[in-house]
Amino acid sequence: MFKRTYANVMSTLAVFLVVAGGSAFAASTITANSIKSKAVVDNSLKSKDLKDDKAVAGVDVIDASLTGDDVADDSLTGTDVDESTLAQVPQASNASTLNGKTAAGFLSSSVYKAESAVGPGTQLGDGTFVMDVTCDPGDVLLSGGPANIRDTSTMLESFPSPGGTNSWTARINKNGQTDNFSVVALCIDQ
């Protein structure tokens, strides 16, 4: 039979405490840094499992342990990136050029004036006269206009020539007078 001795009572009480309160005892013995990552099932921790439901901060992560797979797509901004760590854009897709031309290539170092010969121009059916001038092939037209017009003539139109990108046309009315004029264009040497 069971004899009630101090030793038997204490051993029974110890068994009862271990069975009933063992998890409470174990939880109270967990201390900071006592659980290692290998003890945690992958992808099982959530914010609510962390102290005060806070997210993991930089101090919680081992340096250089995160990879691109650990960061949500499109979640980083410019302030999250140390620009000095970025490599230069490869030449094939160089960000400092457009269509292979540098900024200076679009407005090359020289702008020149192209001017037609001074003459009467071509008479149109309405009695007005037209003349044009063209930049060198491949060069870019900046602006233009008529020149050497007498004060008795009226300038009617001055515009980039239709159907082209590097010539200028001007149309004048000589008002019944004789007038030889020219057309000037400012061009970018490409």
Domain residue ranges in the chain: 6-39, 111-188
Q: What is the DSSP string of 167-189?
A: EEEEEEE-TTS---BEEEEEEE-
Instruction: Write out the two tokens for 22.
Output: 């063992």
Instruction: Write out the two tokens for 14.
Output: 């110890």
Round the average pLDDT of the chain to a whole number and report it: 79
pLDDT digits (tens, 9 = 90+) for 123-155: 999 999 999 999 999 888 999 999 999 999 999
Measured CA to CA, the distance from residue 183 to residue 148 in angstroms comes to 8
Q: Taking the model in full, what pTM does it have? A: 0.45
pLDDT classification of 2: cutoffs 50, 70, 90: low
pLDDT digits (tens, 9 = 90+) for 18-43: 666 555 555 556 666 667 777 777 77
pLDDT, residue 109, reads 60
Measured CA to CA, the distance from residue 166 to residue 156 in angstroms comes to 21
